[in-house]
Amino acid sequence: MRPETPTDVAQDSGASNAGSSVRHYNPSPRAHPGLHAIALVEIGKGLLALLAASGLELIGPAPLRRWVWELIRHFQFDPNHGAMAWLVNALSPGGVHLAAAVAALYGVMHVLEGWGLWHARAWASWLGCVTVALYLPFDLYALAKHPGWLALVVVAINLLVLWVLARDLVMRKR
Q: What is the pLDDT of residues 61-90, one digit of tens each?
A: 889 888 888 888 888 888 788 888 888 888
Q: Do both 77 and 116 map to the same domain?
A: yes
Q: Do both 103 and 174 map to the same domain?
A: no
Higher per-residue pLDDT: 142 or 23: 142
- Among 100, 120, 140, which residue terminates a domain? 120
Would you place residue 31 in the very low, low, confident or very high pLDDT band (cuts 50, 70, 90)? low
pLDDT at residue number 78? 81
pLDDT at residue number 23? 54
pLDDT score of 11 more than 50: no
Residue 45 lies in a domain: yes
- Among 77, 97, 120, which residue terminates a domain? 120
Residue 74 lies in a domain: yes
Q: Say which amino acid occupies 111.
A: V
- Among 120, 142, 164, which residue terminates a domain? 120
Q: What is the pLDDT of residues 99-154, one digit of tens each?
A: 999 999 999 999 999 999 999 899 999 999 999 999 999 999 999 999 999 999 99
Q: Do both 45 and 101 map to the same domain?
A: yes
Range of the domain at 98: 33-120
Structural domains in the chain (count): 2
Residue 10 lies in a domain: no
Q: What is the pLDDT of residues 42-66, one digit of tens each?
A: 999 999 999 999 999 999 888 988 8
Q: Which residues contact 61 (CB under 8 A, 6 or more apart)?
A: 91, 92, 93, 95, 96
Higher per-residue pLDDT: 105 or 168: 105
Q: What is the pTM (predicted TM-score) of this model?
A: 0.71
Q: Do both 110 and 39 map to the same domain?
A: yes
Would you place residue 13 in the very low, low, confident or very high pLDDT band (cuts 50, 70, 90)? very low
Q: Do both 84 and 134 map to the same domain?
A: no
Residue 13 lies in a domain: no
pLDDT at residue number 8? 45
